[in-house]
Amino acid sequence: MKLAVFDIITEAVGDTWVGRRDFAAYAFLPVLVVSIVGTLMAAVIGDPRVFLEDPAQVPAPVVARMFFGIVVNWLAGFAMYTVFAIAWHRRTLVGREASTIGAAMRWGQRQWNFFRRLVLLIVNLVLLMFFLSILLMNIIPLAPVLSALLIVIGLIYARVALVLPAAATDTRMTFAESAKLTKGNSWRMMLAVVLLPLAVMLFGGLLVLLVAAPLAVLIGSSITAQFVLSLAAQAVNYAGFAVGITALSIAYRQLTA
């Protein structure tokens, strides 16, 4: 089955806009938590640009502190994405939860199943990109290698991503089964579930920067300013997530019908 990708994109953007009140309700807690954790960790770990100057001279306690901050940020990000993604997938595939927003986003076995699949998927993609970049950058210049690998990783993610809406709806699906269902739709899936949310995030991020730049001059640099900027940036990110999750849910519904 060939997916009508532009119809999916149009429906995903339109549905997210129409459901903006649901988005505000579902995204409020994840955006707030990720922004708080990110701001606190930035204060704890310091400026990572010290690694760009002379990595060998960075003290071991600083490295350990930064590693700790990165791990906490990633875990908080994965956990909050899990909570939001399940609620948003189910909004599209099951219907708006009859219970309260709090009950719809409560952590339970469904969230653990989704979280495990998400972490397994992301970690494997990161490791694959790392090892392939090491193998290839001795043959090809680094910039083309990274560009090509990003495309490859995006295509792989797009082919196996159906495991996520499956987990959100308590359906058993393996990565191999997802890849089989999306056969012949690699580029369509990548356009809908990878490039579409990235475009939303990049466009929204640019708007945030345009607004934040003059404000930074007025109020200066502070933890409060960093927190406010993080809130705006995460709200944009979650808007991109919502559009991408909706597109993935629609593709899942069509391919499993």
Each residue's pLDDT tens digit, 165-200: 999 999 999 999 999 999 999 999 999 999 999 999
For 219-257, write each residue's pLDDT tens digit.
Answer: 556 777 788 888 999 999 999 999 999 999 999 999 998
- Give 60-100 pLDDT, tens digit per residue: 776 677 778 888 889 999 999 999 999 999 999 987 665 56
Q: Look at residue 147 in the predicted model and tell me its pLDDT.
A: 80
**Residue 123 main-chain phi, psi, to 5 deg:** -60, -45
> 207 φ, ψ to 5°?
-65, -40
103 against 120, higher pLDDT? 120
Distance CA 159, CA 188 (A): 10
C-beta separation of 115 from 78 below 8 A: yes
- Taking the C-alpha atoms of residue 77 and residue 182, their distance in angstroms, rounded to an integer, is 27
Give the pLDDT confidence score for residue 223 in this predicted structure: 76
Q: What's the confidence (pLDDT) of residue 134?
A: 79
- Whether the CB-CB separation of 69 and 92 falls below 8 Å is answered with no
Residue 55: predicted pLDDT: 58
With a cut of 80, say whether residue 45 has pLDDT above it.
no
* pLDDT confidence tier of residue 46, bands split at 50, 70 and 90: low
The angle subtended at Cα 100 by Cα 97 and Cα 23, nearest 5°, is 70
pLDDT for residue 178: 96
Q: What is the pTM of this model?
A: 0.88
